[in-house]
């Protein structure tokens, strides 16, 4: 049974607080599958996490047309956007599986399109739009490593007690 939490935020600063909590929870390579509609805040969350690792938020943009960007700060990570990929062959051609196996954090926007090609143990974050700035994040650990991360995120949010963020 996967471990999951619901986190609701009412502002962009709430998303940044959640990103800080996630960044503090990630200390080893794992795939972070980001799922949500256009404009839901997938890239905004990656920006919030990256800024905690000393990566300039302006450098973290949706890699829709580049498909993959690499970022170097306190932690190195890959940011992949598979929105434009058509099929499994395209995924395999681009050798994304090699990036997933290199031990770094890998954020994948639109990951639900290729969920069957992703590792069994990953951090799955589904973002639902509630209002202009309000979002609900369902954060799910699908294996032992990611379930531990979910527990750490809960602990971090409990200790931070950020305004406008609620955890269920």
- What's the pLDDT band for 129 if we cut at 50, 70, 90? very high
Higher per-residue pLDDT: 122 or 70: 122
**127, 115 Cβ separation under 8 angstroms:** no
pLDDT value of residue 131: 94
User: Does the pLDDT value for residue 65 go beyond 80?
Assistant: no
Tell me the mean pLDDT in the region 67-89: 89
Q: What percent of the chain has pLDDT over 90?
A: 68
Of 21-25, 42-46, 59-63, least confident by mean pLDDT is: 59-63
Contacts of 123 (CB under 8 A, 6+ apart): 30, 31, 32, 33, 139, 140, 141, 142, 146, 149, 150
Q: What is the pTM of this model?
A: 0.93
Alpha carbon 48 to its chain's center: 10
Alpha carbon 106 to its chain's center: 8
3-state class (DSSP) for residue 58: helix
Average pLDDT taken over every residue of the chain: 91
Question: What letter does residue 112 receive in the DSSP assignment?
Answer: G
pLDDT value of residue 111: 95
| 54 torsion bin: left (phi>0), alpha (psi -120 to 50), beta (else) | left
Distance CA 79, CA 70 (A): 6
């Amino acid at each position: 049974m996967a471990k999951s939490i619901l986190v609701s935020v009412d502002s962009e600063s709430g998303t940044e607080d959640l990103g800080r909590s996630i960044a503090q929870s990630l200390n080893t390579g794992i795939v972070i599958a980001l799922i949500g509609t256009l404009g839901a805040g997938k890239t905004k969350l990656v920006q919030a996490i990256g800024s905690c690792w000393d990566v300039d938020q302006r450098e973290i943009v949706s890699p829709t047309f580049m498909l993959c960007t690499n970022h170097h700060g306190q932690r190195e990570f890959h940011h992949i956007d598979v929105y434009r990929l058509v099929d499994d062959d395209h995924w395999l051609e681009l050798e994304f599986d090699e990036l997933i196996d290199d031990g770094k954090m890998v954020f994948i926007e639109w990951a639900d399109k290729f969920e069957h090609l992703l590792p069994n143990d990953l951090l799955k974050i589904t973002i639902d739009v509630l209002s202009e700035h309000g979002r609900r994040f369902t954060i799910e650990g699908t294996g032992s490593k990611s379930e531990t991360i979910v527990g750490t995120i809960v602990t971090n949010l409990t200790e931070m007690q950020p305004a406008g963020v609620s955890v269920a």
